[in-house]
Structure 1
């Protein structure tokens, strides 16, 4: 069963198939794997801004659940569907289930595959990595970090887009490439025919014994199952209508993970830059981040412990900022302890997420996004449970 799931991961680009799934067989060539995943989180939120009505608070919610179906019609045609939802409040109207991925693929060869539909944008590692495979699976704390380069719904950098992606692995995974033509900032059908163009190339020195990330999607950690050294470069242009400027984005990132006996160190670094962000001339945004994990690859009690840290710096220059003012900067630091009961299929995590604003970001950022009162530094504590089937 596990070998068949790993084969499907290589075929369809699913980096984090659950350890188990329900396989429906039609014949020897036609089948589908049905899966279910969910995250349950409790978060103690620090006071966000200087508004006297804003307090520290404790919340429990389900930020994410997924129902997936992935399989093949025959050796040439494959497919994948992912329905995603959440339960953030007791009000039924506030909870939604959306089709986040739905695509059909043609695998002509390992070096040449074509996928059409809605799928992850092959630009940043962040966009290509499922929340279930991230070391820090937290969304931006709230509007104070909106429109940063990794904000999932801002600036044409949604992690999904509708269109066609050609991709493949060359020379046994030495090089992986993606070429995408998608709707970009205009998902909904309209008179605007602007498109987005994306290219990403990853390099893995397989001659040194490292295993390539051959699937379409990626992961922050492979939990010591394979030694990985992957270096990626991506470029994306999002077309804009009218007098708006096309948004141009560049990213460079790298992941290193290698098993040394019972210890598995992991390090990831990345840089993302946006020019003419959100179609506004001279608007710039960037993010620099570094994160790592140290996993003890032996059972302690009923799971394997790991400790991860992350630092990121976000810059978001808005038009009209005076030259003598400081550049708005938001620094974020996180520490999280993971307890892998059964890999990513059953995991408990406890983390601290701290956000710090410089003076310019503190005075402007909150009001820019409709929050009364200046931003203030804050720290969140997150307790999270994760399961996959």
Structure 2
């Protein structure tokens, strides 16, 4: 029974690997569900993003999640994540920073799916779930060794360029969306309004594990950015994608068997996985275009944004130490009409981490470093202008260091660290307020204390 429960939990996320408990509702050995609660509580000191900005101290509930997972029988499985947060969903930057929050104002179904497990090699998932195109978008955020995640600071910086700080720019019939996420190379093709929703979509996926996780594959179709989240595409084109992960099991390595990936396994298994992903969605631009269509399409009759991803993760236990190296590259093409060529973005990242797999005091200590670079080319500023400035080769470097303390694996964790976000001169030279007092972007540092529990 315990083995069946862990397998069902693994479809949803990483709880099975990280030692989290849950309340088990059991009808019989083949029909059961587990219910649990996950919490992420943050305290942050946020730096000045622009010359006219100010530093601030913020306490926030980054995430509060009630989750369900289980099965009706060995073939029919299910799962759902109900998320709560004290961020205003139309104001939270999609990179995870907590600069905007105003009480628990909403509840969101982040994941809700039914999975048909015909065999480990052939499974069919339908519902709302993570876009599996990249390791980043398909990683359970409760396993991050850098708790602030990936792409930190991108949307905070770019919201000043796009003018989409509140996620309302060019709203279509009142629909909220964030243009910054379309530019963000660390998220899938999306107009999602915040970082957690940006990595998810409603659709269907054929996926499975071949030869005991040596090969994991995903073939998927989803509503996509322009229909489900913004409603701007009258033709109703779907988003299509594929991903494959290879793990050399013949060398003693193993991958997780579930749909969702982990950022770390905390020494529970040795992992070496290389992933390749691709997705696209056509946007037909109508002659009676909405403001959103005009912003994205310009004079084009259609665009077909594409997303490419290559990533690798290595984690292996040596005695009492568990080092990890993670590398990745992603590129988005033809995102929207630009100055000259269409807008595109690129992202690179490297992550180094090590866990000391012995209890020191109350828990096991670890340390993690992360570097990211994002670049956007051909962005028209200000958007919608007849004579826009060409914001190109616009780079942001992000440097992060965090110390982690695992009291009970991911089920009870403390993290303390800093993120430094450094826009290059092509971004810092853009006058954000040309019709008034000048205002310019600057590099900034955020310090975060993150507390996490899982049950």
Question: TM-score under structure 2 normalisation?
Answer: 0.79
**Offset from partner CA, 1:23-49 (integer Å, 9 cap, x none):** 001222111010100100000011110
1:293 has 2:336 as partner: no
CA contact (8 A) 1:77 1:106 kept: yes
Equivalent residue for 1:40?
A: 41
CA distance in 1, matches of 2:105, 2:438: 26
Following TM superposition, by how much is the alpha carbon of 1:192 offset from its aligned partner in structure 2, in angstroms?
A: 3.4
Paired residues in the alignment total 383
Structure 1 segment 347-362 matched on structure 2, within 5 A: 347-362=413-428
CA contact (8 A) 1:293 1:306 kept: yes
1:201 has 2:214 as partner: no
Following TM superposition, by how much is the alpha carbon of 1:241 offset from its aligned partner in structure 2, in angstroms?
A: 2.4
- Judging changes above 3 Å, is the alpha-carbon distance between structure 1 residues 81 and 192 closer, same or farther for their aligned structure 2 residues? same
Equivalent residue for 2:123?
A: 113
Equivalent residue for 2:264?
A: 221
CA distance in 2, matches of 1:26, 1:372: 65
CA contact (8 A) 1:184 1:239 kept: no
Equivalent residue for 2:335?
A: 277
Structure 1 segment 1-389 matched on structure 2, within 5 A: 3-10=3-10, 12-17=11-16, 19-51=20-52, 54-88=53-87, 91-92=102-103, 95-138=105-148, 140-141=152-153, 142-145=155-158, 146=180, 147-151=183-187, 154-155=190-191, 158-185=198-225, 186-187=227-228, 191-242=234-285, 243-278=301-336, 282-319=342-379, 327-364=393-430, 373-389=439-455
Q: Report the more deviating stretch, 80-89 or 377-386.
A: 80-89
CA distance in 2, matches of 1:121, 1:279: 25
Q: List gaps (5 residues or longer) in structure 2.
A: 89-100, 159-179, 286-300, 382-387
CA distance in 1, matches of 2:228, 2:71: 27
Q: Report the more deviating stretch, 20-29 or 229-238.
A: 20-29
- Judging changes above 3 Å, is the alpha-carbon distance between structure 1 residues 325 and 14 closer, same or farther for their aligned structure 2 residues? closer
Q: List gaps (5 residues or longer) in structure 1.
A: none
CA contact (8 A) 1:143 1:366 kept: no
Following TM superposition, by how much is the alpha carbon of 1:325 offset from its aligned partner in structure 2, in angstroms?
A: 8.0
CA distance in 1, matches of 2:113, 2:256: 20
- Report the aligned-residue RMSD: 2.6
Following TM superposition, by how much is the alpha carbon of 1:264 offset from its aligned partner in structure 2, in angstroms?
A: 0.4
**Offset from partner CA, 1:262-318 (integer Å, 9 cap, x none):** 000001000010001257661110100000111100000000000000000010113
CA contact (8 A) 2:395 2:427 kept: yes
CA contact (8 A) 2:332 2:344 kept: yes
CA distance in 2, matches of 1:56, 1:122: 36
CA distance in 2, matches of 1:180, 1:200: 9
- Judging changes above 3 Å, is the alpha-carbon distance between structure 1 residues 61 and 246 closer, same or farther for their aligned structure 2 residues? same
- Judging changes above 3 Å, is the alpha-carbon distance between structure 1 residues 120 and 324 closer, same or farther for their aligned structure 2 residues? closer
- Judging changes above 3 Å, is the alpha-carbon distance between structure 1 residues 16 and 115 closer, same or farther for their aligned structure 2 residues? same
* SS of residue in 2 equivalent to 1:40: strand
* SS of residue in 2 equivalent to 1:80: strand
CA distance in 2, matches of 1:74, 1:372: 63
